[in-house]
Structure 1
Amino acid sequence: MRSTPRSALLAFTLTFALLAALAGPSLAESQDDLERKKNATNSEINGAQQSYDESSKAAADAAAVLQASQAQLAEAQSALGSVRGQLVAAQALDAQMQVKLAQSEADLAKVESDLAAGEQQVEASTDDVIAFTVETLQDPGAGLRTFNELVNGADPTEFTEQVAINNTIADSQLSKLDTLDATRVMLDLNEQKVQALRDQVQVERDEAAANLANITVLEQQATEQEASVAQLVQANSANKSAADAAVAADAADIAALEAERNRLQAEIQAEIARNTPPPSSGGGGGGGGGGGGKLSYPLDSIRITSPYGYRIHPISGARRLHSGMDFGSGCGTPIKAPADGTVRERYFSSSYGNRVILNNGTINGVNIVTTYNHMTRSVVSPGQRVARGQVIGYVGTTGLSTGCHLHWEVLVNGSFANPASWVG
């Protein structure tokens, strides 16, 4: 029997329905599997991010301890340098005192020698004067005898010579008496000088002893400072080793986590490529067209405090990718959905704080997911549909945060992208 156009159309419709029935469960299963993989990927990425932040925080804490130890070490070394400077000055002063003391002791020795010589001279002069005095007392009439001899006919010349001799002897004795008096005066002065020098030497010896005692104290202080510095160096070395170990572990963790992230992202991208239809002229899901201008800003007031890109993390101090855009705003400022979408997840993370992940669907042939972090609270639930401009939560400072702000991320086919390329 020849088929009619009506029967042929019916047969085609049944065949298509059968094929659709056979293909339908497989396609739905693939989409469900993709969603499960993407959710698992996001969970692992969140865990990796949390582990990275915690590891970086540990490294930052170790670095802070190391910095404090180095500051203490610098202070101890400065104090040690000051003490050693005082020690050098004290030793120089002691050397000067020893030279001065040696000179004073030499002066004292000379004066004492002069004093001894003067005492001997006084003793000799005293003996001469005593002998002359005794002789005079024993023969008081020597002058009268000479005059009597002249009266009795002695030679006048002899008389004159004898008188001259007697006068010379008398003058000599008077001179010895004068010298004796002068020597006694000088002896008294030398005795006074010796006493003054002895007093000066004693003072200088006392000063030298005090300075030596000061040097001993300074040496003890220097020794204690050296011990303190040695302990600080040891603590510094231990802290540095701990910091290096933390940084090495952190780097290893980051490398492993990034490798896992890349693997999961590659898998997600492959799944999306297999299950995403070619783009049409009108776009789909969240809109059509190119990159910029497809999302609204999540806050009414736009004040970007940290753009997307590599930076020094404000908490950990490590250089890392800032995977989103930070908006500075007061806590409690409403956060709005930048496009229609579905709430995929809402949870609390030690690093991200209160967090919402929003699937904004397909925009220009690519899958767009946006995340909202550090919120004080959210007002949506997983699975809930939201419209562009709808409030999904409020700005906060939960998790690892230095102040009230919104950390906003845009993921394109599972990979972080610069949010500035997707807003207009």
Structure 2
Amino acid sequence: MDRYFPLGRRRRTVPRRGVRVVVVIMLAVGLVGGVVDLAAADREHELDRRKASVTRGIDRQQADVEQASRQLQSATGALRASQQQLSAARGGLARTLGQLAAARQLDAQMEQGLAAAEQRLAVADGDYARARVLVADTQQGIERFAVQSMASSTPTLISVDAMASGDSPLAFPELMSSAESVLSAQTSSMDDLEAAQVLMKLREERVEELRDEVEVERAVAAEHLGRTAALVREARAQRQQVSALVVQRRDSRREAASVRERDLRILRHMRRERARVRVLLSKVRMHKAVTVKAQPSAGGGPASSSSTGNGFLALPVPGAYVSSPYGMRMHPIFRVMKLHDGIDFAAACGTPVLAAADGRVVSQYYDTGFGNRVIVANGSVNGTPLATSYNHLTRYSTSTGENVSRGEVIGYVGTTGFSTGCHLHFMVYASGRPTDPAGWL
């Protein structure tokens, strides 16, 4: 008979319950009419049988309610756990989003650093380009000088030519000085070329160094941003997963609550039917008891009397005061005007309750309104079947079918059922209808 509400599935199984509910409802519908049609001798047996059947059904239904309550409690616990997981997931996402914001800020800083590095690279590229131009220009100047030197021979040959040509010897020093100036200029150009080449090499190395730096910064920024973005995706996926789990478990809890409420409705219906059976059974037993030939009072059976009824019944709680008489009054719980069908005797809970007259216990059960109650058939008085009812008891001291004597303890004052305090609600039935007990006390 177990019923499960697994988290991921909305289906459930409730074996044989529908059949049981239909049987109970059919029993309830046919109860009154069936009793009317039965022979008087068989009524009590049939009602006893039906009461036992309904009681067994109530026991089974109570087990279903308890199981549904456990399922509901489990589903509620699972829902709360998933809600806590969702809260944690939201907190984790918030932290990861904070990390992403920090990563983006760092990325912006890295972008600035990358831009500065790229600017330095651009400057270095410009310096390198200018160095190459300088080297090229220097090389071209040296090449032109070399061509010119080849065309005019060496300085020594220049001096020999000058002497052979018959020039004045005084012009020779001047020619030598000019030749030495040319050689010095050539040497300086070669030095400039060498320096330009060294500078170009250094700037080329700097350009390569800056290129590597830029690439490293780009890779670090991309890796950091990619890692943080992956964390954000993971956190969002986790939050979505937990959110779906919360929805799923909320549905499971809602279904469990619905099943429990349905079980409770069925249980309440079955209890009402059992109460109806008990009332009918009480009436049958009262009728049976008062129609039995009167027994002597000493025998503890139903009594017959020629009394007018005044003083026939003894006080059920000697020394107690009447807190509410028979008649119309405002109901203390429901706050509506209705008949108060008995007399309330105020007394402490646990005070003994005495039989008001000899009789036989025809019914003893719990009623939602009257609480624990005992009904005693007291025989016929001047042709009037009489019965007494003792209500809101805390416990019994008799059992159904037992003969009791006037003044015998049959129970104890309580406050069960619809009650606002410890008291005995004492009722008298004349010919099966409630009447004012004051006329019989």
TM-score (norm 2): 0.48
TM-score (norm 1): 0.49
